[in-house]
Structure 1
Amino acid sequence: MELRQLRYFTKAAETLNFSDAAKCLNIAQSSLSQQVKQLEDELGTQLFIRSSHSVRLTEAGEMMLPFALRTLHEAESCVDRIHDLQKLLTGTLNIGVTHSFSPILTESVISFMKMYRTIKLNIVYKQMNELMELLAKREIDFVLAFRPLQPMPDVESHILFQNALSAIVGKHHPLASKEKISIAELEKYELALPSKGLQARNAFDSIAPDFNSFNIRIELNEVNTLLKLIRQTGLVTVLAEDSIYDIQDVKAVPIDVPGNEMTGCVHILKDTYRKHSMQEFIRILTESIAVKRLQNNWI
């Protein structure tokens, strides 16, 4: 049994399509089919049920999949440890980030790239639930996001800073002169809200469940576009305060209601190997001006 065969098997099990799996692996479909067949012959059992219209795992295939994934992960961890021994001369660091964290990330990315020129950074922007799925599959090394409303048993969440859920307005908006705002005051204005599923929206839903009283003009799942709308119109959005870090012509007005705190965290899997490059990036992030500024807002 070879790691290559396990890699081909897991990709085919993920896609349930030999043609798609071969494309993902950048190999010929015949090569993938041959290696899977060799693996089946070695195990003495069929792993896939193939027909002209579909592919699905057999009972043996379903049992085999988690063990194959674990074996591949252990092999990758071995490579990571060797790279660490080479003093970060090679390797890739995979980071998952929610869009709200984008403004505070640039400084740390630039610093890391200057210090470790041969380490490749692979940064993925997605919603929290999608990033956690990638983390569980070990396709990313850690996630930068706010703490979820419900704890995740297999994930460690380490606090970076505390933030306030805020009304975000243009600098000339009537609310820009206020130090805080109530839920009732928000009802007076037209809103451009982040889409359901984004963390700021989840937090807002939890403190303002009665949406019939709000005048919601638009919902978007892209924070940068939301902020452009806010700057150019009289609309109000609701985001974490850090979402406007280093962005001109907008102001964050904290929402004055219990439970509006949003805790910025680094999320990692429990009981898993932590790359040296990951530890270095997080150290740089915690020492960055962007994060220290947010920490000083509440400490």
Structure 2
Amino acid sequence: MGEFTLRQLEYFVAVLEHGSLTEAAKQSNISQAGASMAIAQLEKSLGMDLLIRTRSKKVAPTAAGQELGTRARRILAEAAELPAALNDGRDQMRGRVAIGCMTAISPRIIPQLLGRISRRWPDIRLEFVEGPAEELQHAVADGTLDLALVYSLQAVADVDLLVLTESRPHFMLAATHPLAARDSLRFADLAQEDVILLDVPPSAERVISMFRAAGVEPRVRWRSVVAETIRGIVASGQACSVTHVWPGMVPNYLGANIRLVPITDETPPNRLVAAVAPGVRRPRRVEEVIATAKDLASAAGPGDG
């Protein structure tokens, strides 16, 4: 069976309702030749005659035409209701929302986000995957994910960015480190310190470039893809690290044995953002998840995570 269009079905139903190609064409605002061609293409696609032409230029449906008329009216009615049905579904606070989250960001916001969404909208099924920023954003662009939480410094070209909050790099030190009590530090202050970096591209490269921009070659002793490993090594005093901090980070996220100290050297502006597909109208449930993430990240909402 070949392909046919809704427009062809509309013309066919118009012919049945008006009893002639001439009147159907007039009511459909097309030429009689156009209407006749559309019906002929429909018959060819279905491989059967649908109309009986009479000498009076009236037409009557064949048995197949009568059956098609019944089904075509149902199809056209459902097609007409489709936009409203989709809009209703878009406004409903239920269904799946798929989030991507950078490994470095995930433990700082995902637990809170899951908790708040489940309390406010229990019918939203929030799912998340963790991974490198570039990979997650490509998944957003191709529709696999609804959004991805990444840093703006790691954004790719084929997504739009919705800013959640500002983020600044801090040194991560053991609470017992001699420099941990300082109000701020420069990269030069850690020139002789061993460093452990998050080895998820391009995180490590970004940190190394910040050291070098300040005229310091970092003593990178270790790399790890597991944030908990980095925190454990820092807390034990074996190395320091660099991490991004935003206003809504849970105060006790790093534990009592770690201190975060602001960096006074000039560093590239950075933001925590939600990467979304460009030119796509997002369902309300996705918009609410993004708004909730913004509240949590900026400390604009209650800390109920």
Which interval holds the TM-score relative to the shorter structure? 0.5 to 0.7
Of 135, 146, 150, the match for 1:141: 146
- Cross-structure match for 1:7: none
CA distance in 2, matches of 1:246, 1:293: 18
Of 119, 144, 159, the match for 2:163: 159
Contact 1:203 1:260 in 2 (8 A): no
Answering whether residue 264 of structure 2 is matched by residue 259 of structure 1, we say no
Greater helix share, structure number:
1
- Cross-structure match for 2:298: 291
Change in Cα spacing, 1:278 to 1:196, as seen in structure 2 (3 Å) is closer
Summarize the alignment of residues 17-166 of structure 1 with structure 2, pairs less than 5 Å apart: 81=87, 83-85=89-91, 87-89=92-94, 91-102=95-106, 103-148=108-153, 152-166=156-170
- Cross-structure match for 1:59: none
Summarize the alignment of residues 194-213 of structure 1 with structure 2, pairs less than 5 Å apart: 194-195=198-199, 197-199=201-203, 201-209=204-212, 213=217
Change in Cα spacing, 1:207 to 1:78, as seen in structure 2 (3 Å) is farther
Q: Partner amino acid for 1:282?
A: I
Could you state the TM-score of these two structures normalised by the residue count of structure 1?
Answer: 0.64
Q: Secondary structure at the match of 1:175?
A: coil
Q: Over the residues paired in the alignment, what is the CA RMSD in angstroms?
A: 2.8
Answering whether residue 248 of structure 2 is matched by residue 240 of structure 1, we say no
Cα distance, 1:94 vs. partner? Answer: 0.2
Q: Secondary structure at the match of 1:229?
A: helix
Contact 2:171 2:260 in 1 (8 A): yes
- Higher mean alpha-carbon deviation, 224-233 vs 119-128, is at 224-233
Contact 1:156 1:267 in 2 (8 A): yes
Change in Cα spacing, 1:156 to 1:280, as seen in structure 2 (3 Å) is same
Change in Cα spacing, 1:184 to 1:235, as seen in structure 2 (3 Å) is same
Cα distance, 1:245 vs. partner? Answer: 4.4
1:102-126 superposed Cα distances (whole Å, 9 cap, x missing partner): 2133222201011222221110111
Q: Partner amino acid for 1:206?
A: S
Change in Cα spacing, 1:196 to 1:266, as seen in structure 2 (3 Å) is closer
Contact 2:140 2:159 in 1 (8 A): no
The total of aligned residue pairs comes to: 214
Contact 1:196 1:202 in 2 (8 A): no
CA distance in 1, matches of 2:279, 2:160: 9
Cα distance, 1:176 vs. partner? Answer: 0.8
Cα distance, 1:234 vs. partner? Answer: 3.1
Contact 1:96 1:126 in 2 (8 A): yes
> Deviating runs (4+, > 4 A) in structure 1?
77-82, 242-245
Contact 2:160 2:275 in 1 (8 A): yes
Cα distance, 1:82 vs. partner? Answer: 5.2
Give aligned-pair identity as a percent.
Answer: 16
Larger radius of gyration: 2
Q: Partner amino acid for 1:133?
A: H
1:135-189 superposed Cα distances (whole Å, 9 cap, x missing partner): 122110011111025x644321121111211110111111211122112111111
CA distance in 1, matches of 2:240, 2:300: 24
Could you state the TM-score of these two structures normalised by the residue count of structure 2?
Answer: 0.63
Contact 2:173 2:237 in 1 (8 A): no
CA distance in 2, matches of 1:79, 1:245: 44
CA distance in 1, matches of 2:118, 2:240: 36
1:43-100 superposed Cα distances (whole Å, 9 cap, x missing partner): xxxxxxxxxxxxxxxxxxxxxxxxxxxxxxxxxx999755335x224x1100011123
Q: Secondary structure at the match of 1:148?
A: helix
Contact 2:132 2:200 in 1 (8 A): no
Q: Partner amino acid for 2:158?
A: D
Q: Secondary structure at the match of 2:279?
A: coil
- Cross-structure match for 1:226: 230
Task: Could you tell me which runs of 5 or more consecutive residues in structure 1 were left unpaired when the two chains were aligned.
Answer: 2-76, 295-299
- Cross-structure match for 2:284: 276
- Cross-structure match for 2:220: 216
Contact 1:104 1:291 in 2 (8 A): no
Q: Partner amino acid for 2:139?
A: L
